Amino acid sequence: MSSTMSATTGSARRDVSSAEQQSTAAISLVGVSKAYESRSGDSVLAVDHIDLTINQGEFFSMLGPSGCGKTTTLRMIGGFEEPTGGQVLLYGDDVTDTPPNRRDVNMVFQSYALFPHMDIFANVAFGLRRAKVAKAEIATRVNEALELVELGGMGKRKPNQLSGGQQQRVALARALVNRPRALLLDEPLGALDLKLRQTMQIELKRIQREVGITFVYVTHDQGEALTMSDRIAVMNGGHIEQLGPPKEIYERPATRFTAGFIGTSNILEGTVERMDGGLAVLTMPGEGRVLVPVNGSVIGEHIELTVRPEKITVCAEPPENGCALPGTITEVVYLGTSTNFTVTAADGTEMVAYVQNAVSADTDLDRGDRVWLCWPPEHGYALGGSGNPS
Amino acid sequence: MTTLAPPRETAPSTTQPARRRKPRRKGRLLHVYTWLILLWMFLPIVVMAAFGFNNTHSRYNFTWQGFTLHWWQNLFAIPNLTGSLVNSFTIAIIVTLFSVILGTPMGMALGRYRFRGHGTTDFVLFANIAAPEIGLGAALLSLYIAMGLPRGYWTIVIAHIMFCIPFVAITVRARMSGFDLSLEEAARDLGAGPLTTFRLVTLPMIIPGVIAGALLSFALSIDDFIITEFTAGQTLTFPLWIWGASRLGIPPQADVMGTIIFVVGALLALISGLLLRKRD
Amino acid sequence: MRHRLATALTPYALIFPGGLWIAIFFVIPIVAMLSLSTMSGNLLTGFSQTFDFGNYANVLSLYHTQFIRSVIYGVIATVAVVVISYPMAYWISLYGGARKPTYLFLLLLPFFVTFVLRTLSWEFLLSDQGLLLGPLHNLGLVPQDFHIMATSFAVISGLTYYSVPFMVLPIYVALERINREVLEAASDLYANKVQTFLKVVLPLSLPGVFAGVLLTFVPVTSDYVSAQILGGTGQVMIGNVIETLYITNSEYPQASALSFILMAALLLGIFGYAKALGTEDVLEVSAA
């Protein structure tokens, strides 16, 4: 399943590969855009011609910084915003003009949006009652849903009597009880403290697997997205920077933005001096020897590459083979399981290395020491779509 | 828990062509309704303004007899009327001043502190606002009679201050509840004494509430009728003059004055609203 | 230690000046009115305290018709105001968008013209030769003896007109408090517009309606301006009676007794009403 990278185009949208097309498409967005009139009168594209397909039973996340368009996209899937262009399809049906109360998807809102004047049972039963489900069946399903989120027996309480985490679970039950085709979640864990958030992440994943529903999840927390998702769409400025499974997003970022947004990245720039098999040997601004795997490059080409900090070791002397970059340690942070080194190269570039304290915590390395950062060439990753002329 | 799983999916149908975008109704009917109600609200004002231009020859300003600016030019031709207007203005200014001075500290106290008597004060203010004007007026008149106090200009002022203070207090108090106490603590931490903190931190934050309360006071006072009638004795304010003249016919000057007060008040409110918006 | 005392005393110091004024000119007058109500005499011979509670029974038997009429007018007008105001508050809150302040401003603008003058304009508008009936009479669309002036309808219309802003505002405030995502959730859970309104919006806006009723019923029931200007002898309200007794007749004891009965009845009603809801809420909403 090789993916092509176009070094010449500005954005790096991934086309849906053939393997994915064989699974059932639950939600499709075709050229979807959302434009707003700004104060000064010109239109702002919150969502810029997005194409994506979400598969049945998938845990799909949209990840990006504030304002990237992820929530707007989610709301368009739910029907709370009307696209100014493009179509929204649900299992092949065009639902672009369908209002939310007639779409077979349900949303878990960021503020939970529980009905404050109704008790928990009535909240969860709301959708079923509107759908005219029989009374006996409503009772069974509501209790089942509450059991699923481990709130059985809380039916009589009012929302303001519950904690944030409990309210969040009620919101989840209220959506799931309707057996929607897909569940939309708008940063549902944002208001919870760390411990609770981590617990809920596991819970959500468990529920999703158990029930088998498609989850469309919006978050700005990349750790969360990486932990929970089957696939992630990284968004920025209204378009998709990269779409793929977490491992691919992390190990093979397509653009500088993705590399910087996901995890910590060291980004280096250099010019191709010569080729050595599948590796390009780069001339770096300072000293050092950097090789990086490329898919065919020309001499003189400007390359950006990224190296993850955990792939780098800190050495006193440069090794025989592999990449090596000299610099001075400017910061040492001891974290128990690892030590983080911030090393500044001769030309001022700052790099970060995470070294596991696997063997011994006794390093003689200190601030001000001159060291070499070393890594195997195959752990470097050349970025596409930097926008630089080839 | 497979009962929550969605029903089996059939094979996906082919993509349908994009449907024509139907604009979702944006509450058109209610929009029109709102405007109708607003028009209803303004109807008597339009009538009043129009009659300020009526070239009427009789005492009764009832039928349209042509357009004239005569009344605008001879606005102060009726001494009693002019005098009553002056009274209304001066009373309103004095009342605003005093109710702000007396009411603002009350609002601050109620908004910030917990103290014994908080509930009682709340209740009294509430009773004052909710009580019928005729009751307030009658009660004050009873006091004046019992004290043998002759009714006039100053008894009006006293009465107006009495019913304006709660409005100022509540407006300021509402402003206080959004007030972040840690700002004051920060000022103290940076060396400011209590008076300085009040001057530089607290006061600027509550000023919008104070201004709103002041405007409210002014408007309430200048237009008040019921309480004024009971406490005025022979003194006349603008509304009282109108009331007295209503049986005999309202001269167009009164309509003109009403129009002027309206326009000035509207402009003031507009300006202060814009100013307050900028501050926030 | 001094500082502690100063802080503890601050709220009392702040309350004192205003509180004193209100105590002297609001609380004490009520006592004065009570005292006046049990006196005997008249303007010529002077008044003296005789603790004669007979005044109360006397005025009740004389004026109970007007009392009942006032309550009836009050109820009708209040109901009318709720029905008229709610849709407007609803539209402004849910559809007003950036223009909300403008609509509220326009709503309050008429208050800059004194109530008396506005009611007199209504007298013109509703009179037989006025803007409304004049043309209708001339066109022969209504019978010659049809009039609006001096009817209950005219008085209640006047009362309703006056109260609309006092009802729109509290309802608006309550509607604003509703989390918009809750409305979206209702739609997400298959409710159409009507169902969302009945099941979610209306229940959550009721505190605003209650506050508005409070701010409407009391002034309307105790009003006399509308009745005087727009009504005739068949529309005399209790406020008119009190005004006449005080201002025209100087029958102070009787007037005080009647006034006290009115105040007590209304205040008791308010008190019970507010207790049921919680004073805090109503104060907040009415301060908007």
CB C184 within 8 Å of CB A109: yes
> Is residue A31 scored above 90 in pLDDT?
yes
Give C218's Cβ-side CA count (13 Å radius): 26
Residue A138 at interface with chain B, using a CB cutoff of 8 Å = no
Residues A99 and A239 in one domain: yes
Work out whether the CA dihedral A164, A167, A171, A177 comes out positive or negative: positive
Which of A93, A141, A176 is the closest to B13 by Cβ? Answer: A93
pLDDT tens readout for residues C138-183: 787 777 777 888 889 999 999 999 999 999 999 999 999 999 999 9
Whole-angstrom Cα distance, residue A229 to residue A204?
A: 11
Whole-angstrom Cα distance, residue B244 to residue B250?
A: 9
CA nearest B232 in C: which residue? C247
Residue at token pair 């002034």 = C219
Residues A57 and A86 in one domain: yes
Residues A92 and A222 in one domain: yes
Residue where one domain finishes, among candidates A239, A261, A283: A261
> Is residue C280 scored above 60 in pLDDT?
no
CB A159 within 8 Å of CB A116: yes
Whole-angstrom Cα distance, residue B208 to residue B119?
A: 25
Residues C182, A116: C-beta atoms closer than 8 Å: yes
The answer to the question of residue A151 being in a domain is no
Residue C271 at interface with chain A, using a CB cutoff of 8 Å = no
Residue C188 at interface with chain A, using a CB cutoff of 8 Å = yes
Banded model confidence at residue B87, pLDDT cuts 50, 70, 90? very high
A152-158 LR contacts (CB < 8 Å, sep 24+): A154/A120, A155/A119, A155/A120, A155/A121, A155/A124, A156/A119, A156/A120, A156/A121, A157/A119, A157/A120, A158/A116, A158/A118, A158/A119, A158/A120
Banded model confidence at residue A111, pLDDT cuts 50, 70, 90? very high
- Nearest-CA distance A155 → chain C (Å): 18
CB A343 within 8 Å of CB A353: yes
Specify the range with the lowest mean pLDDT, choosing from A125-129, B260-264, C169-173: B260-264
> Is residue A372 scored above 80 in pLDDT?
yes
Domains of chain C: 63-286 (1.10.3720.10)
C174 contact residues in A (CB cutoff 8 A)? none
Q: Which CATH number fits the domain that encloses residue A244?
A: 3.40.50.300
Q: What is the per-residue pLDDT for B24?
A: 52
Residues C189, A114: C-beta atoms closer than 8 Å: no
Phi and psi, residue A34, nearest 5°: -140, 120
CA nearest A111 in C: which residue? C181
Work out whether the CA dihedral A144, A150, A155, A160 comes out positive or negative: negative
The answer to the question of residue A124 being in a domain is no
Which of B115, B127, B146 is the closest to C11 by Cβ? Answer: B115
Residue A51 at interface with chain B, using a CB cutoff of 8 Å = no
Residues A246 and A282 in one domain: no
How many CB contacts within 8 angstroms connect chain A with chain C? 60
> Is residue B178 scored above 80 in pLDDT?
no
Question: What average pLDDT does chain C have?
Answer: 87
Residue where one domain finishes, among candidates A232, A261, A290: A261
Residues 6+ apart with CB under 8 A from C190: A101, A102, A127, A130, A131, A178
Which of A175, A225, A169 lies closest to A192, judged by CA? A169
pLDDT tens readout for residues A280-330: 888 877 778 888 888 877 888 888 889 999 999 988 888 888 899 999 999
pLDDT tens readout for residues C53-75: 888 888 888 999 999 999 999 99
Residues A75 and A216 in one domain: yes
Work out whether the CA dihedral A294, A295, A297, A302 comes out positive or negative: negative
Domain span holding position A358 = 266-382
CB A238 within 8 Å of CB A48: yes
> Is residue B2 scored above 60 in pLDDT?
no
- Nearest-CA distance B213 → chain C (Å): 10
Residue B26 at interface with chain A, using a CB cutoff of 8 Å = no
Residues A40 and A94 in one domain: yes
Residues A311 and A346 in one domain: yes
- Nearest-CA distance B25 → chain A (Å): 11
Residues B132, C262: C-beta atoms closer than 8 Å: yes
Burial A33-64 (b: 16+ CB within 10 A, else e): bbbeeeeeeeeebbbbbbbbbbbbbbbbbbbb
Output the CA angle C3-C6-C12, nearest 5 degrees.
160
Give C275's Cβ-side CA count (13 Å radius): 6
Q: What is the per-residue pLDDT for C200?
A: 95
Whole-angstrom Cα distance, residue A374 to residue A362?
A: 19
Residue B18 at interface with chain A, using a CB cutoff of 8 Å = yes
pLDDT tens readout for residues B221-250: 988 999 999 999 889 999 999 998 887 778
Residue A72 at interface with chain B, using a CB cutoff of 8 Å = no
Q: What is the per-residue pLDDT for A98?
A: 92
Residues A254 and A270 in one domain: no
- Nearest-CA distance B134 → chain C (Å): 7
Residues C25, B269: C-beta atoms closer than 8 Å: no
Whole-angstrom Cα distance, residue C274 to residue C281?
A: 9
Which of C103, A209, C170 lies closest to B273, judged by CA? C103
The answer to the question of residue A377 being in a domain is yes
Residues 217-276 of B with CB under 8 A from C: 219, 222-223, 225-226, 229-230, 238-239, 242-243, 246, 250, 254-255, 258, 261-262, 265-266, 269-270, 273
> Tokens in use for A300?
């003189």
Identity of the amino acid at C63: Y
> Tokens in use for C103?
């609509």
Touching B (3+ Cβ pairs <8 A), the chains are: A, C
Mean pLDDT of A24-32: 91
Touching C (3+ Cβ pairs <8 A), the chains are: A, B
Whole-angstrom Cα distance, residue C50 to residue B246?
A: 39
| Domain B80-279, CATH | 1.10.3720.10
Residues A96, B5: C-beta atoms closer than 8 Å: no
B25 contact residues in A (CB cutoff 8 A)? none
Q: What is the per-residue pLDDT for A16?
A: 41
Tell me the three state secondary structure of residue A290: strand
B6-13 LR contacts (CB < 8 Å, sep 24+): B6/A179, B6/A180, B6/A181, B6/A212, B6/A213, B7/A179, B9/A24, B9/A56, B9/A91, B9/A181, B11/A24, B12/A24, B12/A25, B12/A91, B12/A92, B13/A91, B13/A92, B13/A93
> Tokens in use for A312?
């780098």
The two beta strands, A43-55 and A25-37, are: antiparallel
Q: What is the per-residue pLDDT for C195?
A: 94
Whole-angstrom Cα distance, residue B157 to residue B95?
A: 6
Residues A109, C186: C-beta atoms closer than 8 Å: no
Residue A78 at interface with chain C, using a CB cutoff of 8 Å = yes
Tell me the three state secondary structure of residue A232: strand
Specify the range with the lowest mean pLDDT, choosing from B35-39, B185-189, C78-82, C229-233: B185-189
Whole-angstrom Cα distance, residue B222 to residue A189?
A: 54
Q: Which CATH number fits the domain that encloses residue A291?
A: 2.40.50.140
Measured in residues, chain C has a length of 288
Residues 99-128 of B with CB under 8 A from C: 101-103, 105-106, 108-110, 112-113, 115, 117-118, 121-128
> Is residue C88 scored above 60 in pLDDT?
yes
Residues 87-106 of A with CB under 8 A from C: 99-102, 106
Phi and psi, residue B102, nearest 5°: -85, -35
Residue B280 at interface with chain A, using a CB cutoff of 8 Å = no
Residues A80, C185: C-beta atoms closer than 8 Å: no
Q: What is the per-residue pLDDT for C84?
A: 96
> Tokens in use for C50?
């005789």
Banded model confidence at residue B9, pLDDT cuts 50, 70, 90? very low
CA nearest A177 in C: which residue? C189
Residue A16 at interface with chain B, using a CB cutoff of 8 Å = no
The number of distinct structural domains making up chain A is 2
The answer to the question of residue A201 being in a domain is yes
Residues 6+ apart with CB under 8 A from C264: none
Residue C202 at interface with chain A, using a CB cutoff of 8 Å = no
- Nearest-CA distance A41 → chain C (Å): 15
Whole-angstrom Cα distance, residue A359 to residue C229?
A: 98
Residues 6+ apart with CB under 8 A from A67: A46
Specify the range with the lowest mean pLDDT, choosing from A87-96, A155-164, B261-270, C201-210: B261-270
Banded model confidence at residue C287, pLDDT cuts 50, 70, 90? very low
pLDDT tens readout for residues B102-137: 999 999 888 888 888 888 898 899 888 888 999 999
> Is residue A11 scored above 70 in pLDDT?
no
Specify the range with the lowest mean pLDDT, choosing from A146-150, B249-253, C31-35, C222-226: B249-253
Residues 180-209 of A with CB under 8 A from C: none
How many CB contacts within 8 angstroms connect chain B with chain C? 263
Whole-angstrom Cα distance, residue B47 to residue C2?
A: 63
Residues A199 and A85 in one domain: yes
Residues C113, B47: C-beta atoms closer than 8 Å: no
CB A208 within 8 Å of CB A52: no
Residues B5, A91: C-beta atoms closer than 8 Å: no
The answer to the question of residue A13 being in a domain is no
The answer to the question of residue A152 being in a domain is no
Q: What is the DSSP string of A307-365?
A: E-GGG-EEESS--SSSEEEEEEEEEEEE-SSEEEEEEEETTS-EEEEEEE-SS-S----
The two beta strands, A59-63 and C46-49, are: unpaired
Question: What average pLDDT does chain A have?
Answer: 86
Residue where one domain finishes, among candidates A219, A236, A261: A261
B4 contact residues in A (CB cutoff 8 A)? 144-145, 148, 176-177, 179, 211, 213
Residues A89, B21: C-beta atoms closer than 8 Å: no
Residues A31 and A93 in one domain: yes
Mean pLDDT of A19-25: 56
Mean pLDDT of B16-29: 56
Residue C97 at interface with chain A, using a CB cutoff of 8 Å = no
Burial B51-78 (b: 16+ CB within 10 A, else e): bbbbebeeeebbeeeeeeeebeeebeeb
Which of C239, C237, C107 lies closest to C167, judged by CA? C107
Whole-angstrom Cα distance, residue A352 to residue A365?
A: 14
pLDDT tens readout for residues A166-200: 999 999 999 999 999 999 999 999 888 888 899 89
Whole-angstrom Cα distance, residue A62 to residue A69?
A: 9
Residues A303 and A219 in one domain: no
Which of B3, B17, B24 is the closest to A144 by Cβ? Answer: B3
C108 contact residues in B (CB cutoff 8 A)? 269
Residues A25, B6: C-beta atoms closer than 8 Å: no
Measured CA distances, B99 to B106, B206, C41, C83 (Å): 10, 16, 37, 35
Q: Which residues sit opposite A63 in a β-bridge?
A: A219, A234
Phi and psi, residue A141, nearest 5°: -65, -40
Measured CA distances, A38 to A43, A44, A46, A239, C76 (Å): 6, 6, 11, 19, 47
Residues A60 and A42 in one domain: yes
Domain edges within chain B: 80-279
C198 contact residues in A (CB cutoff 8 A)? none
pLDDT tens readout for residues A206-231: 999 988 999 999 999 999 999 999 99
